[in-house]
Chain A
Amino acid sequence: MLSNHKKHILALAITMLILAGCSKSFLELSPPSQVEETNFFQTQLQADQALAGVYHVLQWGNINHGHSPIMGFMEIASDDAYAGGGSSSDAVGAKGLDNLSATDAAPFNATDITYESVWNIYYQGIARANTLLANIGRVSATDDYKNEVSAEAKFLRAVFYFGLVRWYENVPLVTAPLLDPDKYNQPQAPPEDVLNQIAADLVDAMQYLPKSSMKSSNGHATYYSAEALLARVYLYGKGVYGSDLKAGDLTIDAAKTRANLDEIINSGTFGLFPVYADIWRKENEMGIESVWEIDCSDLAFMSGSTSNQYQAQGNYNVNYFGPRGVTGTPYTAGFSNAIPTQALYEEFETTPIVDPRRDATILLLNSTADAPGLIKGWQHTGYFNNKYNTAAEYLTSSGLPSINWGQNIHVIRFSDVLLMASELYLGVDQSKADLYLNRVRERVGLPDRAATEDNIRHERRVELAGEGVRYWDLLRYGLAYTKQMIDASSLVGPYYNGGGTLTAGANTPPNAFIMNWDSTKHGHIPIPPSQIILSNGTLQQNPGY
């Protein structure tokens, strides 16, 4: 028998016992199926994962629904391709790349998510590289391993910054993780500083990257990838800003770049495929011509929609370039964007033979007889990119095709190295310049030519067409030249879907082909207005916008 008094004490005691029973560990939980940052960067496996995470950004063509196949954008911006797409209002951001301004046929919208996506992709890549570089010291591994991982991270950071500085020119230079809220806001750096940082990263990376082919390095960046990219950076910087690069104390000038390119050419690691069109065949990926190639695959078997592309391993440019509406084989329907221009078509030599690169570069499809189901999209010229197209050999058997195209992105080919070298030997060693130029021409059976500025420009255009190279070449040749060439691409060809014979559809008025490039923009796209607002005035909009 308990008295009331005792009962109360007992109840209180029980309550207190239960209260005390809840220890702190009840609340201090960790995510059950994820690793916390603080427990990461400890093993070599984790460092490998972090590195693959940086490489992964190279495969992104679509984040946040802003379709951003960046190589496709580079093509559209040039005189080699129009925006294309389904209609005047489809992918307006991409349409803005044609002239960097509104036209009679299409509006221009600086707030379009396209311009923010490009910014976003590159800065995410940079943040991943910076995080890896900042934490590699914590990993239990040999110094050799850490050095090589760091070298790859720096190479990739250089890749991303080179993309940024070319598209936007005036970008903040971030080389360490921005974790402190007070440092989120960073001013834009002069483009020369960004180019110098890229050079420094590449020079650093070259110390530890293997001197091997892409294939022997298992698809990782190599010494030669960095060396060739450095040459490309040098040429861009020299052409646009007239200055050499400073990689720390080391000056990267024309002589140094010539020596670097010679090193690649003479390494014995690289060569040219005998048949030009074979470069883009699946069996030749990471082949002898690849100096820097981004591996894409359908191995993740991603389903979902195009907005899941960034999760997949696919090359979104392929879907972007693909002919619209086609069915069956050999092509799968794509978005018919980045439509090759008549001007490009006509750039190819036709005597004494038709340059075989023309048909390897441009696919002519003009009716449903050419490809069942073909829909003539906006700015239809009858031409499609034939290097990266929705061809059967790359069609995924198991994922959504549009986001799983497994075709690699050939960023720097050996022929580009030869042509860069040829260009740098102009006026220095003409025989070497001729030799390098004609190695490229001989492969496709064209007669030799003397290396001149014009001949090299022509050769680069036809050799590298459809690969995202041309626009940056134009910018380094000068704004006036760029405007002249882009405006000249207003040429309306025989297959355009317009005139008086329109049927209901994505018909295109002739004025959609009128290129009137706005050189006040200096060839750059707008700093995303949302980012300017967020920076509260720290970021300045680019000239002309």
Chain B
Amino acid sequence: MTFTFLPQSGSSGAALHRPRYRHQLVSVMKLTTFLLLVAFTQISAKGFSQTVTLSYRNAPLGKIFRDIQKQTGYHFLCTTEQLSSTTKVDLNAHDMPLKEVLELCFQSQPVTYAIVNKTIVVSERKSPGSIPLAPMFLPIHITGTVTDSITGNPLAGVTVRVQGNTMGALTDANGNFNLDVEGNAVLVLTYLGYNMKAIEVGQRTVLHIALSPSTTGLNQIVVIGYGTAKKTDVTTAISSVTDATIDKLSITRVEQALQGTLPGVMVMNQNGQPGDKPMIRVRGTGTNNDPDPLYIVDGFPVSSIEYINPGDIARIDVLKDAASAAIYGARGANGVILITTKKGKPGKITISYDGYYGIQNVWRKVPELNATQYATMMNEAAKNASPDNPLPYPDPASLGKGTNWQDALFQKNVPIVSHQITASGGNEQTTYLTSFSYFDQQGVIGGPKSEFTRYTFRLNLDQKVFDFLKIGTNVNYIFSERRAIFDNGDQGGQALGNAFNIDPITPIYETDPALLANYNPNAVKNGDKTYGISPLATFPNPLAQMALLNGNNKIDKLIGNVYGELTLGKGFKFRSSYSMDLENITSNSLTPIYYLLPTSSHPYATVSKNFSRSTNWQTENVLSYAHDFGKNNIQALIGQSAIKYFYENLGGSRNDPAPIDPGLAYIDVATDIASSVNNGGADTRTLASYFGRIAYDYDGRYLASAVLRRDGSSRFGRNNLYATFPSASAAWVISKEAFFHPGVVSFLKIRGSWGQNGNENLGSSFPWASTINTADNGYTFLMNGQEYLASGASLSAISNPDLKWETSEQTDFGLDMDLWNEKVSISADYYIKTTKGLLIRPSIPDIVGYSAPYVNGGNVQNKGIELGINYRGNITRDLGINASFNISHNVNKVTRIDNTSGTIAGANYINMGSITRMAVGEPIAYFWGVKTDGIFQTQDEIDNYTYTDPNSGTVKKIQPNAKPGDLKFIDQNEDGTINDNDRVNLGDPNPKLTTGLTINLFYKHLDLTVFTIGMFGQKVFNGNYRFDKTVSNLPSTMLDSWSPDNTGAKYPRFVSNDPNRNYSTVSDLLLEKDNFVRVKDLQLGYTLPEALTTRFKVTSLRLFVAVDNAFTFTKYSGFDPEIGATSPLSMGIDRGVYPQSRTFRFGIDLKL
């Protein structure tokens, strides 16, 4: 509906959103029908007319205004107070000009009207007796444009009001407004999410007004889950980032919007591979299960957010403490990330295009030995092992430089492209936003063989059916395709790991006919050229490996939700929504005939295809209530939701003894029918929840809120289906107290919260159950003398019907403060978060013979502080600066593990066994190894490093196999031998400090963004170099290994059989500090002067150049210091991680 009710003079702009107006609005309407579903009656208004046909008896003005607006498209601007003073009207008009109808309506009313730019502004009729004696000012007609101070984009729907008067106007889609004012008037501009601005008109008739977004401001609205709240009224720890920031970063994935922008939220890329998912942790790692937060997009929980076009996002809110996340109870333990997509706004259609093209290059290569250096080192290793050993390379110099595999593997100037078109608009009944985006990124390794392509289509539509009923829908279809999936797995199979480790002597292409004659006929070729095969037969040629890649994953995703919202009066509202998430994944793969190595060959071609379909539906019903009793404000809601997930898949494969054309890799093309394999299965789970929240505040000064949620999940044992999660929070706005004298500090709030959340995010839908595994579990018996495959079965795991939720309990104390009139805002939090009843599969003895059951068996504590500071200000009229800085410190500690050893083994690395683990008193997934005490310089040092048996008095050497140049290991438990019992905490893969700094500078038409992140205090296990393989190539740093001539070396002597186990012992030698500072984004934009753009009917046009990952400052010697992990226990293990690329982009943001 089209009424815009202005607040009373003097009240703040924010009051526009106070519910009290809402219920007054309702009270003037007659609710005649009660419909849940109504067809769209009017999506876009047809041609408006200047004449009106109406017939009323005894009708209130409000109703008449509504109908007039429907017919004419004119808006009314009035307050409910004004309306309440009017009398009812009889009216009979047929095709009557609007002006005449209005005259009839306002006849003998206490109010009058003025038409300003398609807006009918209602104002009190001034009785003749009250005409002031002050000199009359002549009315002047002014026009103006309102824009966003940062983006320069026009703002539609801004309320422009004349101070001390009820006259006003709304800006149109181009941000323009017209108004007749008296001279010397002061205009007050208010707009949701922006700072209120007052401006003296003076004698100007044309005004350009820029509103600054109130990201720091008190008026800012945050999404709190099942509703919104003013930032000032929030009692919990919520951090938000809005499109103003997101659009600037022009990121490729939604998660990147959170990297470095919010305190307490750590984002680490796992991989530079296109389409790879970054890791997100909210307030530390609370579980060894899936520590990913819960994602809610437009109210709908989704399993991942990678499908979303970043350009569609209006805002992201992160619920960090238990009390804020409690409304999502069962699944809030790891934090909740609420994503709201953009909506249309009433007014003229806006069409925008945003796009960029970029080129990517690897930001760093890791120097390695060339062929001559390599041969020299190999000779040294052999000689060190035994002087009798023959030299593997008698003449190293003859080998020259050899192949630089990294140069060969990393491609240059690999493209990245993004296009996005958005159209939005609507009228007072209907608003819509529709967008299309295309994104394509190739990998710096593999180029088009490692490519991610995404198309998204979106329609967001909201419709007011009646004054009391609003319905809407969001529909999002995404098609994405990914090729060539690599992981940060043990490097053996990965192209980058192989490029790192293969010897530099092997050529990319073998040209020696004598050698080629002996090549396997299935050796991989590129046209006429045959890829070289290392005679050391340990690492495959990485380029040959890339040449074999043919697979792709295609994902179709359709996400739709519809809602109906019923305004019931007296502050009650009922909202019902239904959502569906459908995902179809098709994976294609073709493994061609190949021979890479003696141990890696495939003598036939295999075509396989897997198809899966998953659906996730949710219904949700929420009844909410909001009412102000004077200074007592109450908001409450109760609700229910039910979620059901269903998944099924079908796959098959078939071989062919002959090569298959990659373009025709379909199962029917393969001819070996006997080799056909198929598989298929299904999975399901459900969640039923009931929740309630009540928030109370007195005068916006004392605030309190409580949440209770009860969840039932099919994922848990029959004995523990349901659990209840309570929370409570309170805040005190000190700055609203009478005793508080605003000075430097303009706003001050302290808050505290406590609550419990759950986690049910396990890999399995039936973690409590023991199912029978019949796949690939059979045996071949005979039948009539012929072998046949008998189906076999075994238990997949041990069951635990008592399995229940993992509970995270969190206490939070926070402080929000604005300084210098909102120029600077500060938010700080301290929290203690304890995860209890950790859902774990603790390692159990192998003698049990089955996988461990999931149990609730441990506690983890995270403690931390977070600080966010924002600054926003103008240095001169032309130069503005916005800066935001955040820093978080988190300490993680495992406080209990319920198994015999009190430990859980972590990630394995090649043949070293676990290199990380969980143990009571230590951080989750700490690096577990032996401490070293330098390098033995002389035999004496080795001989003197002894242990005396306290019983027998015998003295023995602790490291009998050591020679000078070997590592000295510390015998931690003082038992005379170096083994697992000497392993201690060598470092934490989780950063102690994470920081982010964003600086935006504006100078006239130029804008500059510098976005930097930093992480400090974490260690990384550099596993790029395969020290378990004696023939691996070495990083150049290994040239600094010990020899009698180089006794100050960093690394121990290089010896092929490694009798002292320098490199097969997990020790601090293999760990590096991973501190880094990275300038993620450096962007310079230029917005063309309006005078120029308007000539081409363009509202705004901005051009930009950007550099992603422009600079990285780190001492870490691997490819990239950003090393996330899918599993919390694999954190910080660099197994040949695909580095982030440095990208130069050029882009255009265009608005029509």
* A residues in contact (CB < 8 Å) with B: 1-2, 4, 7-8, 10-12, 14-15, 18-19, 22, 24, 26-37, 40, 46, 48-56, 58-59, 86-90, 92-93, 102-107, 109-113, 116, 119-120, 123-128, 130-131, 172, 174, 178-179, 181, 184-186, 215, 218-220, 286, 295-297, 299-303, 305-306, 311-313, 324-325, 327-328, 332-336, 368, 372-373, 375, 377, 397-402, 406, 498-500, 502-507, 509-511, 528-531, 533-536, 538
Contacts and interface: CB of A to CB of B under 8 A. Distances in A.
B672 A397 contact: yes
Nearest to A116: B846
Interface stretch (B5-13, B551-559, B899-907): B899-907
A109 B1061 contact: yes
B539 to A, nearest CB: 11
30 contacts: A2-B34, A4-B568, A7-B569, A8-B572, A27-B713, A28-B714, A33-B683, A34-B771, A34-B772, A34-B796, A49-B793, A90-B538, A105-B385, A106-B1057, A111-B980, A181-B855, A215-B785, A299-B780, A301-B677, A333-B599, A334-B598, A401-B603, A502-B392, A504-B393, A505-B537, A507-B390, A530-B905, A530-B913, A534-B900, A535-B900
Given A52-B791, A299-B787, A502 B390 contact: yes
A266 B509 CA distance: 65
Contact of A52 (B604, B653, B779): B779
Contacts of B183: none
A399 to B, nearest CB: 7
Contact of A32 (B572, B684, B900): B684
Given A15-B621, A218-B783, A335 B599 contact: yes
Given A11-B623, A375-B537, A398-B655, A86 B846 contact: no
A24 B721 contact: yes
B843 A534 contact: yes
A336 to B, nearest CB: 8
Contacts of B713: 27
Task: Bin the interface of chain B by size.
Answer: 35 or more
B34 A52 contact: no
B31 A124 contact: no
Contact of A15 (B591, B638, B912): B638
B883 interface: no
A139 to B, nearest CB: 13
Contacts of A324: 537, 598
B766 interface: yes
Contacts of A119: 846
Contacts of B796: 34
A434 B48 CA distance: 117
6 A-B pairs with least C-beta separation? A127-B849, A398-B675, A311-B776, A52-B792, A55-B779, A49-B793
B640 interface: yes
A502 B535 CA distance: 12
Interface in B768-823: 769-783, 785, 787-796, 798-799
B849 A128 contact: yes
Contacts of B520: 325, 327, 333, 373
Given A15-B621, A49-B793, A295-B781, A87 B1031 contact: yes
A14 to B, nearest CB: 7
B849 A26 contact: no
Contacts of B128: none
B1064 interface: yes
Scoring A50, A86, A125 by chain B CB atoms within 10 A of each residue's CB, the highest score goes to A86
Scoring B503, B845, B1059 by chain A CB atoms within 10 A of each residue's CB, the highest score goes to B845
Contacts of B788: 299
B63 to A, nearest CB: 15
A511 B599 CA distance: 25
A22 B772 contact: no
B781 A219 contact: yes
Contacts of A2: 31, 34
A181 B1056 CA distance: 44
Given A7-B568, A301-B675, 7 more contacts: A1-B32, A34-B771, A86-B599, A184-B848, A328-B521, A401-B603, A534-B843
B621 A368 contact: no
B929 to A, nearest CB: 12
B469 to A, nearest CB: 12
B388 A510 contact: yes
B682 A32 contact: yes
Contacts of B388: 509-511
A31 B389 contact: no
A299 B536 contact: no
A49 B521 CA distance: 42
Interface string B657-685: 10000000000000010110100111111
- Secondary structure class of chain A's binding surface, majority of residues: loop
B390 A29 contact: no
Contact of B847 (A14, A18, A174): A174
Scoring B601, B714, B903, B911 by chain A CB atoms within 10 A of each residue's CB, the highest score goes to B911
Contacts of A24: 721
Contact of B621 (A14, A51, A178): A14
Given A55-B792, A511-B386, A40 B772 contact: yes
A37 B572 contact: no
Contacts of A7: 31, 34, 568-569, 572
Nearest to A25: B686
Contacts of B493: 305
Contacts of B903: 533
B789 A509 contact: no
Given A11-B574, A507-B390, A398 B672 contact: yes
A530 B655 CA distance: 40
B399 to A, nearest CB: 9
A48 B781 CA distance: 11
A504 B535 contact: yes
Contact of B780 (A49, A219, A328): A219
Given A18-B621, A219-B782, A184 B844 contact: yes
Contacts of A399: 655, 675
Contacts of A305: 493
Given A333-B601, A511-B386, A31 B683 contact: yes
Scoring A12, A181, A528 by chain B CB atoms within 10 A of each residue's CB, the highest score goes to A181
A374 B356 CA distance: 53
A401 B602 CA distance: 8
Nearest to A505: B535
Scoring B503, B520, B718 by chain A CB atoms within 10 A of each residue's CB, the highest score goes to B520
Interface in B979-993: 979-980
Contacts of A104: 385-386, 1057, 1059
Interface string B493-524: 10000000001010000000000001111100
B877 to A, nearest CB: 53
Nearest to B769: A36
Contact of B681 (A33, A332, A510): A33
Contacts of A36: 769-772
B779 A56 contact: yes
Interface in B375-425: 382, 385-386, 388-393
Contacts of B569: 4, 7
Contacts of B568: 4, 7-8, 11
Given A19-B640, A109-B1061, A397 B778 contact: no
Contacts of A112: 911
Contacts of B686: 26-27, 29
A92 B193 CA distance: 64
B603 A332 contact: yes
Contacts of A533: 901, 903, 980
B740 interface: no
Contacts of B681: 32-34
A86 B794 contact: no
A397 B961 contact: no
B610 to A, nearest CB: 13
Nearest to B913: A111
Given A102-B1059, A300-B789, A35 B31 contact: no
A413 to B, nearest CB: 18
